[in-house]
Structure 1
Amino acid sequence: MNPVITAWSAVSAFGVDSEALLPGAWAATGPEASPVDHERWPVSDDTACLVPGFDVREVLGRKGTRSIDRVTGLALTAVGRLVDAGVETGDDTALVLGTTSGGLQSQWTTTTDMLVQDKPFYIDPSAIPYVIMNGTAGQCAIWHTLRGPNTTIAAARTSGLTALRYARTLLSTGRARRVLCGGAEEYSASRSWLDRRTRGGDDATVLGEGAAMLLVEPANAVGPGRTPLAEVAAVELGVAPLDDADLAGALTACVRRALDRAGVPAGDVWAASPGPSAVERAVHTELFGAQALAAVPAVDLLGDLAAATGAFQLALVLGSAAREPVAGRVAVITTTDREGSIGAAVLRLNPDLS
């Protein structure tokens, strides 16, 4: 039996609270961007989709947060929303977190200090845990007493769907009774600098940040007080050539594999959520029609979320499904990355598992 998603949380450009995501996304006519404070962010970006007013110590409290970096603070907040809502912690709860490379600003600052300070060891030791790629996931486990398997997935923009597939594996092999999975991405001077140089100077992309988390459980062991929001019917991953025509073909094949595995014809898809690329939107339009794309807000309203993209797509689909009766309807989510990774997930919404 396929696992089910029973809860979700999101910290986004529409607000720190999950409840702000859907109203903001449905009302938005473009990216939720705000002017960048260049005194705080020494970047060339004029705008970015920042979590409004987010400060780690103000949101999480001053105790034990002096050295926590921004991406970890975002992830801690999103995980905390689920724990505060009653999700069980302890030995049976796993965490799978998608990231690009961990705390990029922490890595950049520490590496710079090693090179320019008087001696290589004149660095801030409290920053070391966040230089390591799995530092954020580890801190989430420590902070929220999640003692099950703790995994970091670094698959760029496809990290969210890869994390969802990994969560399925943990549940199917009995390694956990429930899994918190999702993705987190920070906005920082280092990320802005690297992004501009790897994209090229003509790209007008607006960077975003945030964290989105899902609670995934076995369909026959849903926790008390929770009901299934969606059945994870299939998750397929792959690699595509970087040429647009080849990418479209590879993505179409990946989606068809996911639909076949789920036993769903393309004509039954109610909602389609492509990633921010034009190729993805074209593939979804050809397979499912424009009406399916209109059922869910576009994820690029939140800016380029990098590793958090897929997790936010899933959250937008789940939140949109709560707006109208969609029991048993199907949604398809895809993400692609400019380095060639692709992913597709099929959800059966508000399933009747009786």
Structure 2
Amino acid sequence: GRPGGVVQKFAPLLADAARRGPEGQALLEPVCALVLRALAPGAGLAGDATLGVQVAESRKFWEWEAADAASSALYNVCADCAAELLAVGALPALVGAFCTRLSAEAQGSPEAPAAACGFGVIEEMAKAVCVAARMQPPDGVASTANEMVRALGQALEALLRRAQATSDCYGISQTLDGLHSVFDRLKDFNEALAGAFEQLWPLLSGTLGMAQAEDWVIERLCRLLKAALRGLGHQRAAGTLPAVCPAIGQAFATRRHEALLYVASECVRIVGALRQPDLGAAVAGMLDAMIDAAAGALAVPSAFNANPYLADDTFLLSSVTLRHAPGLLLREGAPLARLTASAAAGANVQHRDAGTSLYAFLA
């Protein structure tokens, strides 16, 4: 991990040298090559002889440590030298290294848990590449975003297959974090993200419906969906709602995970911003199902103290709806009465955030 640590520490000096002239720029290529060599799959194994490491677990740890330092170094270099990296044509190498590493991790043997393979470097690498990619013209950003999402999607598909047999969700969560980085870091380029999200949605929908997915995987997925809907912009995100809303509602019916409620809030904001009647049906169906289920789970005072985060996000969603698209809750057949009865039951909830959301809704 030492070369990565050194590069990480001296990235600002490297950037300053690169900005001063061609001599400084010439340093970027060998430095990037050094970092990318540490990020290559299996790079840590070459150090066994000098380190005297004999045990497989120790080799894996060394590889993870080196990759972790190198991925942080790569991010620092990209953050400080993005324009200079583009000038020397380094971006294709960065994208290629990212895709290669990702593919190697995703195709690991089912016997080797992803947690032992240094999968955590993927998110940091994704951030680094996105920082550099942002400096391109819009068509270049679109090309890079689609290439990264394609690689991440292929990895996610492989990991979903592996999880069916091993229940190993760590790699899935890290891949979702990598995707979150793409949609969050490139959110100003929503045209570039539209096609990427379209090709990705079937896999995300499959992850939502995966019975053995841990709660923290669903939380990571919801964080990604929220970033994607925001990154796409209201107009483009609206086109995803007929597919996204039923899937969110169905997932909430299966597991009362509060993170699904804040994705629903994002869908409501889109409807409120565009005020297109044809969008209301999909969102209204999702909203009815989710609020009805949440209010049913929060029907007695003790349920609020047992599920404060569910209460918090349920009443946040309700307040967002009343503020941005009140017609969704005030129309005939909406579960407003049941929601109000639930709020009354939780009036003495002993949780600050849940209480704040509840009283904001009642106000």
Which interval holds the TM-score relative to the shorter structure?
Answer: under 0.3
Relative contact order (C-alpha < 8 Å, sep 6+): which is higher?
A: 1
Larger strand proportion, structure 1 or 2?
Answer: 1
| TM-score, length basis structure 2 | 0.26
Pick the structure with greater CA Rg: 2
| TM-score, length basis structure 1 | 0.27
